[in-house]
Amino acid sequence: MAGVGNRVLAGTDRALDLLRELPRLSLSNIRSNPKAFKRNKRGRGQHGGKKHGAGNKGSGQRQNFMRLGYETGNNPFYLRVPKEPYYKGHHIRREYPPISLMQLQTLIDTGRLDTSKPIDLTALCNTKLFQLSPFENQYGFQLTDEGLDNFKGRINIEVQYAPEQVIAAIEKNGGVITTAFYDAPSLIAMRDPMKFFASGTPIPKRQMPPENAVEYYTDPKNRGYLADPDLVALERFKLAQKYGYELPDLKKDPELLPMMLERKDPRQIFFGLNPGWLVNLKDKKIFEPEDEQLLEYYRS
Amino acid sequence: MATKIINKTVTEFSLRITRCFFVPSKAIQTNAALFQERSETSITNVAEQLLPTIRPPLPIIYSRKLAFPPKFKAVRQAWVSNMDTVEEEKLGLIDLHPEVFAERPRVDIIHENVRWQQLYRHVSYANTKVKYEVRGGGRKPRPQKGSGRSRHGSIRSPIWRGGGIVHGPRSPTPYFYMLSFNARLNGLRSTLSAKLAQDDLHIVDSLDIPTDDPSYLEKLVEERGWGPAVLFVDDNDIMPLNITAASDVHGHYNLMPVYGLNVHSMLKHHTLVLTLAAVERIEERLLFHLNRNDAAEAGRKYKLDSL
């Protein structure tokens, strides 16, 4: 077979070519890489024998140690040195994995995101390119301003945090951006809807944001989902003036308008599905609660 | 007379040509012309009770669409043969995807796969008794002090002869572990590539043979120079009756559906024979897994602590 014409044999081709000269690959002539498997070193006394690293007499050899941190009586380090507040409350702090506008544009260009439908956390997780772990205090995605200048997509997007310039970039292109809060159970349902529907639990109602997040999500400047829509419209206008672009009139495109205006209720998790409903994927049925108390609970 | 000479030349020629990775189109036409002549006048070498094979003009199969067109590697090509005559007749030439059939043959990954296949279902039933399991040894053999001999608490302590074994085998010990998804995927790719590179991979149109006589298979394998052990792979797990009956007698001719394809079997058998349907299925499955963007999903089935 060797080299037809002046084809350069390199890498894989060379390896395959070499195989042609060698005996047939079989169960008796294969082996692993050196050091792939560690030998079990249980030699008696050979490696760490005699005193087995415990020294002579004393609490060490007798395996009767003092408690960790004890300094034989004097004030120990862990009591002597005061705590600094650097990590106080770190386990409660919310994290928002970033998605840059450049990534968003690439997703739109490659067809991984459907711009004819509103984009929310579920749509982003469905691309399987972004991982969200609510168990590690991740509460959603934030948009970053990388690729802001080249962003051209016209989208209705809902994220959990977006800075001012990102909001401006999206609205400049005739899009709509909202920031919304989702609690941990809602996030678990949202990031893998099929798995959630298969579990057979009714759709939960989304909880209100915690105290330190209420201010953010009620502020029209952040396009918060709890803010007054009229104030949001005013802020859109003000932002256009601040950054110096013409605010596109959404009404000019009547086909896209309903999609652009589509927003979720503060208690809603999925578009088109209300809290309390039970989705049966196998039989393709949706069940609603009839009980008064349940209805009142889910409506509140 | 003239045709007989051509017959012989063609048979020898066809057996000697190995997988040509780049076959100039001229060669195909020449071969086709030769085969065309042959098919019109031939009588197969098998017993005269078999009907002579009538075929449409060759090549029958000459193109194949590759999913995920290869960007960086050259496409490989392989002959498609028949199974209905003992002598090999080439029905055409097809493209094989290099990501499946021309992957770097990683012998260490192949070894990993073979080791895993052998070990994951192995259970060791070897057992030794620990000191409390050995019969006896409840009583203190002699008082602590006074005898002048060493002190002991039990006659079955590990330092005693006939005493318990401390770190011995404990039955049953499973050796189950899961090799990572990509290791298994690349194992299949490497083995298929190695088989193709070493001319131990043959593609046939289907596994239909004219008779269920076991000797037919023997003669066929002998004639074509396929190794002593042959693994036939088809897409469907219900194989044609004739080949099932013929191969049943021989332990070294084995039939396998695509979902059973594994590195150990491919190495154990000298020759691997795939049907066209099997090639399609293998490529479709392997390329799907190579090009999926939710690779984490693939390995989740055997992950122990999944969130």
A128 touches chain B (CB under 8 A): yes
Contact B199 A20 (CB under 8 A): yes
From A243's Cα to the closest Cα of chain B, the distance in A is 38
Q: What is the pLDDT of residue B24?
A: 39
Q: What is the pLDDT of residue B187?
A: 98
> What SS3 class is residue B245?
helix
Residue with tokens 């605010």: A247
DSSP designation for A95: B
Q: What is the pLDDT of residue A111?
A: 95
From B215's Cα to the closest Cα of chain A, the distance in A is 26
pLDDT tens sequence across A185-215: 999 999 999 999 999 999 999 999 999 999 9
A32 touches chain B (CB under 8 A): yes
CB B89 within 8 A of CB B42: no
Residue B303 has pLDDT above 90, yes or no: no
Could you give the CA distance from residue A32 to residue A26 in angstroms, rounded to a whole number?
Answer: 14
Report the residue from A19, A24, A135 with minimal CB separation from B307: A135
Q: What is the pLDDT of residue B47?
A: 43
B105 touches chain A (CB under 8 A): yes
Long-range own/partner contacts, residues B2-8 (CB < 8 A, 24 or more apart): B3/B37, B3/B38, B3/B41, B6/B34, B6/B37, B6/B38, B7/B38, B7/B42
B-chain residues near A129 (CB < 8 A): 293
Report the residue from A1, A33, A129 with minimal CB separation from B20: A1
Residue % of chain B over a pLDDT of 70:
81
pLDDT tens sequence across A239-266: 999 999 999 999 998 999 999 999 999 9
Q: What is the pLDDT of residue A8?
A: 67
Write down all domains in chain B, each with its CATH number in brackets: 57-122+177-293 (3.40.1370.10), 124-143+152-174 (no CATH)
A-chain residues near B107 (CB < 8 A): 25, 30-31
Could you give the CA distance from residue A44 to residue A28 in angstroms, rounded to a whole number?
Answer: 33
Q: Tell me, what amino acid is at B99?
A: E
Domain ranges (residues) in chain A = 98-299
pLDDT tens sequence across B25-60: 333 333 443 444 344 434 444 444 556 667 777 777
Could you give the CA distance from residue B38 to residue B207 in angstroms, rounded to a whole number?
Answer: 23
The percent helix, strand, coil of chain B (3-state, each to 5) is: 40, 10, 50
Give residues 43 to 62 of B whose Cβ lies within 8 Å of A. none
Q: What is the pLDDT of residue A75?
A: 96
Angstrom CA distances, B71 to A111, B280, B294, stand at 21, 19, 22
**Cα angle for residues B290, B293, B299 (degrees, 5° grid):** 70
B193 touches chain A (CB under 8 A): yes
Contact B194 A25 (CB under 8 A): yes
Q: Which residue of A has its CA nearest to B295?
A: A128
Indicate the pLDDT class of residue B296, thresholds 50, 70 and 90.
confident
Beta carbons within 8 Å of A227's beta carbon, 6+ residues apart: A217, A218, A219, A220
Q: What is the pLDDT of residue B4?
A: 41
Q: Which of B39, B35, B36 is nearest to B10 (CA)?
A: B35
Averaged pLDDT for residues B131-156: 96
A47 touches chain B (CB under 8 A): no
Residue B14 has pLDDT above 50, yes or no: no
Q: Tell me, what amino acid is at A6?
A: N
Indicate the pLDDT class of residue B2, thresholds 50, 70 and 90.
very low
**Residues of chain A falling short of pLDDT 50:** 1-3
Lowest mean pLDDT among A99-103, B17-21, B95-99, B192-196: B17-21
Indicate the pLDDT class of residue B18, thresholds 50, 70 and 90.
very low
Residue with tokens 């009586």: A73
B111 touches chain A (CB under 8 A): yes
Averaged pLDDT for residues B204-232: 96
Q: H/E element holding B124?
A: strand B123-124
Averaged pLDDT for residues B196-214: 96
